[in-house]
Amino acid sequence: MAIYFQVESKLKDISSLLEYSISILIGTFFIFTGFGKLLNVNELIIGIMRYGISYKLAPLAVFLPTIEILLGLLFYFPKTRKLAGIIAFILLLFFSAVYIYGYFTRDISDCGCFGVISFLDDSPFIVLARNLFFLAGITWLINRNYYKSPVLSGWQRILVFMVAIVAATASGASSVRPLYEKTHPWIGKPIQETPLVQLTTISKNSTYLLFFYGMNCSTCWQIIEQAKGFQQLSVVDSVIGFTVGTDSSLRKFENATKLNFRSILVDKKDIRNYVDYLPTIYYIQHDTVFYVQKDNLISPLSFREKILKTGQIYF
C-alpha cells in the first residue's frame, strides 16, 4: 500500500512538472510571436492584407501583438492557465485555418508568426505540425486545470497591467514608425553571390526589376501596372517576372493583365529560396542588388527621382 502511494505521488510530481513545462513553452511562444510583430506593426498589417482583408480592417492588427504577449504571460500563472488555454486554442485554430487558406489560394508560404524575427519561421509543414502540437498541449492543460476562476494576485495584476501599457504603447508607435526594420542581406551584393543567379542571366551593363508575384495574390494584381510602367517608361532595361503555377495558368494571367514583360515559372518548393513574401521586387544595377521592396512598389517616376538620381533609398 505504501508503494502504491509513493508511485502515485511520483506520478503527480511528473504530471505537475509536465504541466509547468508545457505552460512555459506555450507562454514563451506567444510572447515571442507578439514581440516579433510588435517591432514592426506596419509589416504585420501589410502581411494581413495579403490574405485579402480590407485595408480598412487590417489596421486592427495593431492590437494583436499586445494580445499575444499578455496571453503568453497568463500561461505563467497557474490560476489563469485555463483561461489562457481557451483563448489560445481558439486563436491557434483560427490562425491555422487562415494560413491553410492563404497557402492554397494566395501562394502564401510564410506564416509571419514571429514578425520581423523571420529566422524563427519554418516551412508550412513545420508550422502546422507545431500548431497541432500546441493545440494538443493546450487541450491537456485545459482539462487538467482545476482552478475555477482566473484570479490574479496583487503583484500579478500590476505586472499584467504594466506589460499591457508598455506593449500597447510600443505597438501603436510601431504602426507609425517601425521600431525595427530588417536590412535585406542581399542589398549591395553581386547577384552571383545570391540564389537569384540561378533564375536568369543578367548583363552587367543593364538594369533589371525582378518581380516575384503570385497569380492569386490580390496585392500583386494591384501593383502589376506599376511593374509594367517600369518597362514602358524605360526606368529599367528589363522587367522579369517570377511566379508559381502552370504554363496554362500563366498564359491566362498574362492575357488578363496584358503583361509587357516575360515571366518565368518557379517551382513552388523552391520559391522560398528567393523570397519570403509575395510580392517582392529586386532592383538590379551594375550586376548588384541595389534595392529590395516587399508588398508594394513605388511608382516608376518616383523611383527614378528618389533612388536613381540620388543613389539613396528613402523608404
Kindly write down the DSSP assignment for every residue of 112-170, as one continuous string.
Answer: -TTTT-GGG---HHHHHHHHHHHHHHHHHHHHH---SS-PPPHHHHHHHHHHHHHHHHH
The residue with greater pLDDT, 222 or 280, is 280
Q: Which residues contact 139 (CB under 8 A, 6 or more apart)?
A: 85, 89
d(CA 217, CA 222): 9
The residue with greater pLDDT, 133 or 11, is 133
Identify the pLDDT of residue 307: 66
Confidence category of residue 5, pLDDT binned at 50, 70, 90: very low
Q: Quick: pLDDT tens for 219-270.
A: 788 788 888 888 888 888 999 999 988 899 999 988 888 888 999 999 877 8
Q: Which residues contact 85 (CB under 8 A, 6 or more apart)?
A: 75, 138, 139, 141, 142, 145
pLDDT at 135 over 90: yes
Residue 181, C-alpha cell as written in the block: 526594420
Q: Tell me the domain boundaries of the chain.
A: 2-176, 191-308
Average pLDDT rounded to a whole number, residues 272-289: 86
Residue 100 Rama label (left phi>0; alpha psi -120 to 50; beta): alpha
Identify the pLDDT of residue 159: 95
Residue labelled with grid coordinates 533589371: 208
pLDDT at 273 over 90: no
Q: Which residues contact 31 (CB under 8 A, 6 or more apart)?
A: 68, 69, 72, 73
Name beta bridge partners: 288.
190, 285
Pairing of strands 288-294, 280-285: antiparallel
Length of the chain, please? Answer: 315
User: Does the 191-308 domain belong in CATH 3.40.30.10?
Assistant: yes
Q: Quick: pLDDT tens for 98-119.
A: 999 888 887 777 777 877 776 6
Identify the pLDDT of residue 174: 86
Q: Which amino acid is at 178?
A: P
Q: Quick: pLDDT tens for 40-87.
A: 887 787 778 777 776 667 678 889 999 999 999 999 998 899 999 999
Identify the pLDDT of residue 164: 95
Identify the pLDDT of residue 313: 46
Q: Are 270 and 291 in contact (CB under 8 A)?
A: no
d(CA 184, CA 177): 18
Identify the pLDDT of residue 90: 95
Q: What mean pLDDT is reported for the chain?
A: 84
d(CA 69, CA 187): 33
d(CA 302, CA 129): 44
Q: Is the dihedral of CA 50, 52, 55, 60 positive or negative?
A: negative
Residue labelled with grid coordinates 494560413: 99
Confidence category of residue 91, pLDDT binned at 50, 70, 90: very high
